[in-house]
Amino acid sequence: MKEYLFSYGTLQKEKTQLELFERNLQSFADTLRGYKIANIEIKDELFLSKGEDKFQKTLIPSNNNAIIKGKVLELTMEEIFLTDKYEPDNYKRIKVKLESGKEAWIYITAEAI
């Protein structure tokens, strides 16, 4: 069964997809409303050891009508679990409804929940 993951950053990159999933993912453009992008400092040493930047983007809820444009990646549930392991340890996965009406997973900093 297909799972959808809304990406606004690193997971859209072909190099990251090949390293993590060993394939290029199918994707399509969509928009997320009610969130904004913020930069946070990552302290997860395992994540940083992969060569990722110390400062990463994350989503935080916004009470204004902010929108984020991104890509919806089509994954299997097993690939979602791989993504859980890839993301920094303070990121949590939650399900949201996108402008298209599709439900998709997003990763959000635990402090924003």
**Tokens matching residue 12:** 């859209």
> What confidence score (pLDDT) does residue 26 get?
96
**Tokens matching residue 38:** 């913020």
> What confidence score (pLDDT) does residue 48 get?
56
Indicate the residue type of 1: M
> What confidence score (pLDDT) does residue 25 get?
96
Determine the Cα–Cα distance for residues 41 and 59; give it in Å rounded to an integer.
13
The average pLDDT across 27-37 equals 93
Residue 112 per-residue DSSP state: G
pTM attached to this predicted model? 0.84
Instruction: Tell me which of 39 and 98 has the higher pLDDT.
Output: 98
Q: Which fold has domain 3-112?
A: Hypothetical upf0131 protein ytfp (3.10.490)
> What confidence score (pLDDT) does residue 52 get?
62
What are the domain boundaries of the chain?
A: 3-112
Q: Phi first, then psi: what are they for 12, rounded to 5°?
A: -75, -20
Q: Which of 15-19, 36-40, 43-47 has the lowest mean pLDDT?
A: 43-47
Count Cα neighbours of 63 within 13 Å in the Cβ-side half-sphere: 0
Mean residue pLDDT across the chain: 86
Tens digit of each residue's pLDDT (9 = 90 or more) over 40-95? 766 666 665 665 666 667 788 887 788 999 999 999 999 999 999 888 777 889 99
